[in-house]
């Protein structure tokens, strides 16, 4: 493979300089005569020859028309091709393509792909990450039927280079009947840190009382566990801290305020918090704002429901309960303030990018943190016993569930000492892309899954990458049958998602105008298979797409078809964030997630491995196969439908629920303004229903004209109907972006969607009407009038956009 020394190398080339043209003496009059004749000739050809004027629309229009079944011998007989039995409709061909696609995903091939992808840890920016880039370029090229890639490194370009932009933005002529896919990778240069040294200990009266073993166990049954990375927090502060210990539940900002009201002072303390409730980066930020000098975060058994050793289950690898030494790694960047490279907020991180000074990067913490196991946390909690107040007297939600532990607030008598030394520097990352050109290029469908992992990534994210393998294989099978999608499909393997959604965010910051004007929908896979319950989150307009796709695939675990439960709003925590919440592209994310009774998933630990997936996560890999079918159908139906599957009526109706939540937290404040918002929502609902009826009429007329006309040149009526179809799709696509406000949200202007965003102090979870909601829940209502006014402006803009 390519030597590590070449990772930073840039390829340069020069085009030969053309010789200066020889000047010819030609009179001005002759030039004008020749020019006039040429223009007249070109104009005559344009208006009298059908191909230049109409061929661009003919190719995709002919795809929609009935076609002769030339594969049937009886239909090749002169005169028989007009029989109904010898003709296929667009809907019939689409169903045939779907059936052909559904035959491709295979459980055993998904298993083999996952085994390849989890063979070594592949943290963003390291050599194994680069090797995975080369492998994916080769695999996707082969799966899509492209010529064999001899040197994949030649298909890696610097982001921002002319080659990079050309490979993404180039458009095939619509007249080209067959799609010619292309695969390549872009390099961004971003801040990344990796661990150098860490330690944790307790002292009593100046003497060392206990030293933590921060490493995870090596398990004979799980061979990869011997080769994992040490536990650490991405983007964590490099330094040492000492102080008395205080327990703060799950570390929410409100928990600090509650404990302070009970006399607990956090200044100079090291706080112990458990995972859950909110994003870990906000746990560190809340501790920092409270005056703490360090943070220890552990996985409490409260997360594990009833699947614990105390309830008779054996611990991994012998059973489904949590392995006692397991540690959850993860980023501690303040994701809900802005994601991406902390040094280049709002701008793409090219190799020569101007970066903030490290101490001015707002999303980076200013105090050290360490992730630890519940075994180590148990010893720390024991040191708190009898000190401070029993935590149950402060709040019933604060205790954990480690057997034999009494949860007290502290501060402890023993002093905690922690060290976290990190190496932060600019490193390369690589996004891999595949483009399958379609007839319509300005309504692209983007499919995304990240590739990097904190360790081996058995579930996060390599189960998604294995599902993508099967989806891309299915597309390749369709291409071999002559399929060309109605809309261009872009497939992306993002890098450095784990550090802070970096690869996808840099792409979004690199191409915001292109995405806004040329992307119709973004479909995401992350932790594809971590349990047995099919789950989805999406823009309300895409919920129907998820339900319909699930209903078309057999349930791998029981009789019947797959069903999604309630499709939730999207917060953050994966690569849809920049598409939805900065640019305004309808988005969706699907997975099989853990439900009650499922094996404990060892999130971001060395035990997130192929062995865990094969033994507990998805024995037989039937869920991988099923999700590949669901996700592939979602992509095909978005790419192939004459009308985008964006349900604006469903979205408009959902806005009423958003407002109901605001009224609850407003508690009677600004009632008149909220009534005006309710009226504006009613207007949006009315306009959405009108548009839905109009689209139905357009669709009927379009299908009627298609069935009536078979000539090469479409009639004026059909061209008008084609324009109406395009007009409708532009309106459907624009609904989501109507919520984008360039001024951004309070205290986090990177986020621009005023319909939904990650909660400012949640990180993952979605907050609907975030500006308005958080003015009541966080800011005391002081911005309510402003937030109501701009929400009204957005709703009026959306309603006007729905007008035909």
**More confident: 519 or 39:** 519
Domain ends where: 424, 445, 477? Answer: 424
Helices 784-802 + 716-737 axis angle, to 10:
170
**Average pLDDT score over residue span 181-189:** 98
How buried is 79 (Cβ within 10 angstroms: 0-12 exposed, 13-18 middle, 19+ buried)?
exposed
Q: Identify which of 523, 525, 513 has the alpha carbon closest to the alpha carbon of residue 591.
A: 525
Is there a single domain that holds both residue 398 and residue 299?
Answer: yes
Alpha carbon distances (Å) from 137 to 182, 294, 474, 508: 10, 42, 17, 21
pLDDT of residue 730: 97
Domain that holds residue 673: 648-802
Alpha helices in 144-189 (DSSP H): 162-169
Query: Any idea which residue has 């006014």 for tokens?
Result: 789
**Average pLDDT score over residue span 569-590:** 98
Alpha carbon distances (Å) from 173 to 55, 58, 59, 438, 484: 10, 12, 10, 9, 12
Residue 33, pLDDT above cutoff 60: no
Torsion of CA 269, 274, 280, 283, to 10 degrees: -40
**Average pLDDT score over residue span 166-187:** 87
pLDDT of residue 66: 66
pLDDT of residue 498: 99
Tens of pLDDT along 70-109? 555 666 555 555 566 666 788 888 999 999 999 999 999 9
Is there a single domain that holds both residue 728 and residue 787?
Answer: yes
Q: Identify which of 188, 211, 71, 69 has the alpha carbon closest to the alpha carbon of residue 125.
A: 188
Answer whether residue 5 is part of any domain.
Answer: no
178 vs 180: CA distance, rounded Å = 6
Is there a single domain that holds both residue 673 and residue 737?
Answer: yes
pLDDT of residue 509: 99
pLDDT of residue 77: 57
Is there a single domain that holds both residue 201 and residue 137?
Answer: no
Residue 447, pLDDT above cutoff 70: yes
Determine the straight-line distance between the first and last CA of the chain, rounded to whole angstroms.
56
Which range among 325-334, 627-636, 715-724 shows the weakest confidence by mean pLDDT? 715-724
pLDDT of residue 174: 63
Is there a single domain that holds both residue 366 and residue 465?
Answer: no
Tens of pLDDT along 682-694? 999 999 999 999 9
Is there a single domain that holds both residue 358 and residue 336?
Answer: yes
Tens of pLDDT along 729-777? 999 999 999 999 999 999 999 999 999 999 999 878 899 999 999 999 9
Answer whether residue 7 is part of any domain.
Answer: no
316 vs 336: CA distance, rounded Å = 33
Answer whether residue 29 is part of any domain.
Answer: no
Residue 726, pLDDT above cutoff 80: yes
For 438, phi then psi, to 5°, come to -115, 180
Residue 53, pLDDT above cutoff 70: no
| Sequence-separated (6 or more) residues with CB below 8 Å from residue 577 | 339, 501, 504, 505, 758
Domains in the chain, number: 4
DSSP designation for 80? G
Tens of pLDDT along 249-284? 999 999 999 999 999 999 999 999 999 999 999 999
pLDDT of residue 9: 35
Answer whether residue 277 is part of any domain.
Answer: yes
Residues with a catalytic annotation lie at 497
Residue 686's CATH number: 1.20.930.40
For β-strands 519-529 and 440-450, DSSP reports them as parallel
**Average pLDDT score over residue span 711-722:** 84
Is there a single domain that holds both residue 174 and residue 164?
Answer: yes
Is there a single domain that holds both residue 341 and residue 474?
Answer: no
Residue 535, pLDDT above cutoff 50: yes
pLDDT of residue 549: 99
**Average pLDDT score over residue span 483-504:** 98
pLDDT of residue 763: 79
Domain ends where: 640, 671, 698? Answer: 640
422 vs 452: CA distance, rounded Å = 19
**Average pLDDT score over residue span 517-543:** 98
Residue 798, pLDDT above cutoff 90: yes
Q: Identify which of 55, 291, 70, 86 has the alpha carbon closest to the alpha carbon of residue 173.
A: 55
Kindly indicate the confidence band of residue 177, based on its pLDDT and cuts at 50, 70 and 90: confident
Residue 537's CATH number: 3.40.630.10
Answer whether residue 113 is part of any domain.
Answer: yes
235 vs 341: CA distance, rounded Å = 10
329 vs 236: CA distance, rounded Å = 11
Give the burial string for 784-804 (b: 16+ CB within 10 Å, else e). Answer: beebbebbbebbebbbebbee
606 vs 373: CA distance, rounded Å = 12
Is there a single domain that holds both residue 419 and residue 435?
Answer: no
Residue 402, pLDDT above cutoff 90: yes
Kindly indicate the confidence band of residue 784, based on its pLDDT and cuts at 50, 70 and 90: very high
Is there a single domain that holds both residue 612 and residue 592?
Answer: yes
Kindly indicate the confidence band of residue 38, based on its pLDDT and cuts at 50, 70 and 90: low
478 vs 536: CA distance, rounded Å = 26
Mean pLDDT (the chain) is 92
Answer whether residue 723 is part of any domain.
Answer: yes
**Average pLDDT score over residue span 425-430:** 98
Is there a single domain that holds both residue 307 and residue 374?
Answer: yes
Tens of pLDDT along 314-363? 999 999 999 999 999 999 999 999 999 999 999 999 999 999 999 999 99
Is there a single domain that holds both residue 178 and residue 203?
Answer: no
Alpha carbon distances (Å) from 313 to 1, 281, 304, 317, 403: 44, 32, 11, 11, 14
**Average pLDDT score over residue span 18-42:** 48
Residue 710, pLDDT above cutoff 70: no
Alpha carbon distances (Å) from 234 to 134, 231, 237, 329: 24, 10, 9, 8
Domain ends where: 424, 447, 471? Answer: 424
pLDDT of residue 713: 77
pLDDT of residue 488: 97
**Average pLDDT score over residue span 273-300:** 98
Residue 209, pLDDT above cutoff 60: yes
Answer whether residue 2 is part of any domain.
Answer: no
Q: Identify which of 724, 706, 725 has the alpha carbon closest to the alpha carbon of residue 58.
A: 706
Answer whether residue 23 is part of any domain.
Answer: no
**More confident: 406 or 46:** 406
């Amino acid at each position: 493979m390519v030597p590590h020394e070449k990772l930073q190398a840039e390829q340069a080339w020069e085009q030969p300089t053309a010789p200066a043209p020889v000047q010819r003496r030609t009179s001005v009059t002759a030039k004008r005569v020749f020019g006039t004749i040429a223009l007249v000739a070109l104009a005559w050809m344009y208006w009298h020859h059908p191909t230049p004027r109409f061929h661009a629309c003919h190719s995709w229009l002919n795809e929609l028309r009935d076609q002769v079944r030339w594969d049937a011998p009886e239909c090749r007989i002169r005169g028989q091709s007009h029989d109904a039995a010898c003709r296929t409709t667009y809907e019939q061909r689409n169903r045939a393509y779907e059936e052909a696609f559904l035959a491709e995903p295979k459980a055993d091939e998904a298993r083999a792909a996952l085994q390849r992808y989890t063979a070594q840890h592949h943290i963003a920016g390291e050599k194994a990450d680069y090797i995975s880039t080369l492998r994916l370029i080769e695999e996707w090229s082969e799966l899509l039927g492209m010529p064999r890639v001899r040197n994949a490194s030649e298909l890696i370009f610097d982001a921002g280079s002319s080659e990079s932009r050309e490979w993404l933005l180039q458009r095939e002529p619509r007249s080209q009947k067959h799609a010619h896919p292309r695969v390549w990778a872009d390099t961004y240069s971003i801040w990344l840190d990796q661990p150098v040294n860490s330690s944790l200990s307790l002292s009593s009266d100046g003497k060392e009382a206990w030293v933590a073993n921060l490493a995870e166990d090596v398990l004979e049954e799980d061979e990869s566990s011997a080769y994992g990375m040490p536990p650490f927090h991405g983007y964590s502060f490099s330094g040492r801290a000492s102080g008395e210990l205080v327990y703060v539940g799950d570390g929410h900002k409100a928990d600090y305020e509650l404990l302070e009201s009970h006399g607990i002072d956090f200044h100079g303390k090291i706080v112990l918090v458990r995972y859950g409730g909110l994003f870990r980066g906000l746990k560190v930020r809340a501790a920092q704002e409270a005056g703490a000098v360090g943070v220890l975060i552990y996985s409490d058994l409260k997360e594990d429901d009833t699947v614990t050793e105390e309830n008779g289950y054996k611990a991994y690898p012998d059973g489904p309960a949590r392995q006692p030494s397991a540690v959850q790694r993860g980023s501690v960047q303040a994701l809900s303030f802005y994601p991406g490279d902390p040094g280049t907020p709002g701008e793409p991180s090219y190799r020569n990018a101007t970066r903030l000074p490290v101490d001015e990067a707002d999303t980076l913490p200013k105090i050290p943190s360490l992730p630890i196991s519940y075994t180590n946390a148990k010893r720390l909690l024991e040191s708190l016993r009898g000190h401070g107040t029993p935590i149950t007297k402060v709040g019933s939600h604060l205790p954990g569930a480690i057997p034999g532990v009494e949860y007290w607030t502290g501060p402890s008598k023993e002093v905690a000492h922690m060290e976290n030394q990190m190496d932060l520097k600019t490193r390369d990352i690589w996004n891999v892309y595949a483009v399958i050109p379609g007839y319509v290029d300005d309504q692209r469908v983007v499919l995304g899954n990240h590739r990097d992992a904190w360790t081996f990534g058995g579930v996060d994210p390599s189960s998604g990458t294995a599902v993508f393998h099967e989806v891309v294989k299915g597309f390749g099978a369709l291409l071999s049958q002559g399929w060309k999608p109605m809309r261009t499909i872009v497939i992306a393997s993002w890098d450095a998602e784990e550090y802070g959604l970096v690869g996808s965010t840099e792409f979004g910051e690199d191409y915001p105008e292109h995405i806004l004007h040329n992307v119709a929908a973004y479909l995401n896979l992350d932790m594809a298979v971590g349990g047995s319950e099919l789950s989805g989150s999406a823009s309300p307009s895409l919920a129907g797409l998820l339900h319909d796709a699930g209903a078309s695939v057999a349930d791998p675990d029981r009789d019947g078809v797959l069903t999604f439960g309630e499709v939730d709003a999207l917060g953050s925590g994966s690569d849809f964030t920049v598409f939805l919440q900065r640019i305004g592209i309808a988005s969706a994310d699907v997975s099989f997630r853990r439900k009650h009774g499922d094996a404990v998933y060892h999130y971001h630990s060395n035990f997130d491995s192929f062995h865990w997936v094969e033994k507990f996560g998805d024995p037989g890999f039937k869920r991988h196969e099923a999700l590949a079918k669901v996700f592939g159908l979602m992509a095909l139906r978005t790419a192939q439908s004459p009308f985008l599957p964006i349900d604006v009526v469903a979205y408009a109706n959902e806005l009423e629920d958003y407002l109901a939540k605001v009224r609850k937290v407003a508690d009677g404040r600004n009632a008149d303004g909220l009534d005006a918002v309710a009226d504006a929502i009613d207007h949006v609902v009315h306009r959405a229903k009108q548009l839905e009826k109009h689209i139905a009429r357009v669709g009927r007329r379009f299908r009627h004209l298609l069935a009536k006309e078979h000539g090469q040149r479409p009639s004026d009526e059909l061209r008008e109907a084609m324009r109406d179809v395009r007009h409708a799709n532009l309106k459907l696509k624009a609904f989501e972006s109507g919520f984008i406000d360039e001024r951004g949200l309070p205290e986090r202007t990177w986020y621009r969607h005023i319909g939904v965003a990650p909660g400012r102090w949640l990180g993952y979870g979605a907050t609907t009407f975030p500006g308005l909601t958080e003015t009541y829940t966080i800011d005391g209502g002081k911005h309510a009038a402003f937030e109501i006014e701009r929400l009204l402006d957005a709703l009026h803009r959306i309603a006007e956009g729905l007008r035909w």
